[in-house]
Amino acid sequence: MTTIRPALFVSLLFAPLASAFQNLSQCAICDGSNAGNVVIQISPDGSVLTALPTPATSDEQFVMIMNLLKTQSPTAAVLYMDVIWAGDMAGYLSDLGTLLTPQQLDAPIPFEQDYATVKGVRVGAPYFIDTGFLYYRKDLLAKYGYSGPPTTWDEMEAMAATIQAGEQAHNPNFWGYVWPGAATEGLSCILLEVFATHGAGTIVEEDGTVSLNNPLGLAALTRMVNWIGTISPPSVTSMNNPTSLAAFTAGNAAFHRDWPGALSTIKGTFVEHVTGITLVPSNGGSTRHHGTLGGWMIGVNKHAVAQARAGQLVAELISDAHQIAQFYSHTKMPVSKGIYMGQGLCAPSNPNVTQICDVGTVPSDYLVARWSKVASPNYQATSAMVYSAVNKALLGAVSPRATLALLECQITLRLHGEGALPMQCLTEIAVSTWALTTNLVLTAIALVVVTAAAVGIAVHRNHPVMKAAAPLFCLTICIGGIVLLVSNIAAGLHPARYPGACWATAWLTCIGYVRPATTTTVPPPVWCVVDDADGATCTGSWS
């Protein structure tokens, strides 16, 4: 940690951050989009400021900052926050309306102001904005006869396949498209972009509807799965942003998806003068280009003692001067009106220098937000569900259809409870171990008794009493009982797969706790009809 006296207040804005950047630049796996983030500690009397470095990845940073907030640290005052954290952290943050002036609060564009506001309280000060773009090799597109970058996913796939086939002849490590497919937050961002550009919705809509399990969503996820081993290396499933960017800068890919901050990493590399940047492709037709909203905000721990000093520091960090400096040094996109996303800050166009302005006009609806506000305070948990399940689909362990069905159940249960679960989530029953054991034991005993009775009826069928009772009829009843009891055992082991005895559901409900499944197999619903004469019968799917 570096201790800084008030006399060096201005230095705090740049020196500790610059130091952090230098440290993180030595880390091959550090995420450039959040490099340099620190927790600024302020002593209770405001006389000593301390810059506490945070871990390399945003997931680790979230854990560290939440621990500081939950323990009500009196000194951890100024916090750098991913835009998706505001909802989960809101209860621990100060109302910036009491620390900043109306002019300072009004500086960011309205969209950013809204994202920094939770339940009417301004808990974050937008620091810089991020969104996804497609990076590409200008030289390779020209070499293979393409006049410009792709505008649709089909075009990108065709270009990637053609370039890959040609380049692998002399570079076996070359692939058409590299991107972060590891089970991290970055994969949730990629999925959201592919969904949105297919017109498949935003996974969880603004009204809280869990929308990802739909035909267009299935087409989007299937496309991603099909990339693996065709235009993307199998190792993509373990790549994060830095490692996939490293493959691109090493000259081993034609296309790469990343944030604007990647431009600062590309400088000085093999591809510095041949890299282009464009919008994330659409799916053609009426679909639109979309990039996931990213970026960072600054908040104040409401339990920090030196609130006024923290507010002063936030005001300096979000000033236009500091945003402009960050734009030039680390390609961090400003959020303030007038300089938004580097407006008016780029140098004249130069074919040998790649800059964010090369993208051209970014559509007004380009940014697509993750579901962090509507899922508050459960965004981190639901996003982990998404990227874990999607990563398994990319690995081929689970089909895209089963993945979306599972996620619909998991996310709905987490956000809205069991009462909101769709029917397909209720066909899988899981019981406590003791309940399953009890069911199997009692059913087995009953099966033995009925089997013994059937044998007894067959052996003594000529007995006068048995003749009077119609032995064939009695034997038929016993055989029917055996069939039902065997199906009951099957239903207890896996009720949704073997629903032959639907009345087993009521039995299991009585003797054990029933809950929706969290397995990857979600079969279709089944109609069960109970007839007094024929017992329980089940028909096929009604969906």
For every residue of 372-428, DSSP letters joined together read TTTTTT-HHHHHHHHHHHHHHHHTTSS-HHHHHHHHHHHHHHHHH-GGG--GGGGS-
The DSSP element (H or E) to which 446 belongs, if any, is: helix 433-459
Q: Where are the alpha helices (DSSP H) in 71-214?
A: 86-89, 102-105, 110-115, 138-143, 153-167, 185-197
First to last CA, the chain: 60
Confidence check: pLDDT of 538 > 60 = no
pLDDT digits (tens, 9 = 90+) for 285-326: 999 999 999 999 999 999 999 999 999 999 999 999 999 998
Nearest to 146 by CA among 254, 52, 250: 254
pLDDT digits (tens, 9 = 90+) for 137-181: 999 999 999 999 999 999 999 999 999 999 999 999 999 999 999
Going by pLDDT thresholds of 50, 70 and 90, the confidence category of residue 411 is very high
Going by pLDDT thresholds of 50, 70 and 90, the confidence category of residue 46 is confident
435/447 Cα distance (integer angstroms) = 18
- CA 277 → CA 28, 80, 304, 355, 443, distances in Å? 23, 27, 42, 8, 66
Query: 215-253 burial by CB neighbour count: b if 16+ within 10 A, else e?
Result: ebbbbbbebbbebbeebbbeebbbbbbbbbbbbbbebbb
In angstroms, how far is CA 429 from the centroid of its own chain? 27
Confidence check: pLDDT of 194 > 60 = yes
Classified as helix, coil or strand, 255 is strand
Q: What DSSP designation does 436 have? A: H
- Amino acid 276: pLDDT: 96
HSE (side-chain half, CA atoms, 13 Å) at 458: 11
- Amino acid 48: pLDDT: 86
All structural domains of the chain, each given as residue ranges with its CATH number in brackets, are 2-130+295-342 (3.40.190.10), 133-294+347-424 (3.40.190.10), 426-538 (no CATH)
What percentage of the chain has pLDDT greater than the value 70? 81
Q: Where are the alpha helices (DSSP H) in 153-291?
A: 153-167, 185-197, 215-227, 241-249, 262-266
Structure tokens at 538: 């089940």
Name the pTM for this structure: 0.74
Confirm if 493 and 475 have CB atoms less than 8 A apart. Answer: no
373-382, 469-478, 490-499 — which is least confidently predicted?
490-499
Q: Where are the alpha helices (DSSP H) in 283-335?
A: 307-317, 320-330
Confidence check: pLDDT of 40 > 70 = yes
HSE (side-chain half, CA atoms, 13 Å) at 236: 34
Angle between helices 379-394 and 400-416 (to 10 degrees): 170
Structure tokens at 249: 């800068």
- Amino acid 437: pLDDT: 76
Residue 140 burial (CB < 10 Å; 0-12/13-18/19+)? buried
**Residue spans of beta strands (DSSP E) within 60-186:** 76-82, 117-118, 121-122, 125-131, 133-137, 175-178
Contacts of 412 (CB under 8 A, 6+ apart): 210, 420, 421, 422, 425
- Amino acid 427: pLDDT: 60
Residue 388 burial (CB < 10 Å; 0-12/13-18/19+)? middle
Contacts of 267 (CB under 8 A, 6+ apart): none
Q: Give the mean model confidence (pLDDT) for residues 465-478.
A: 77
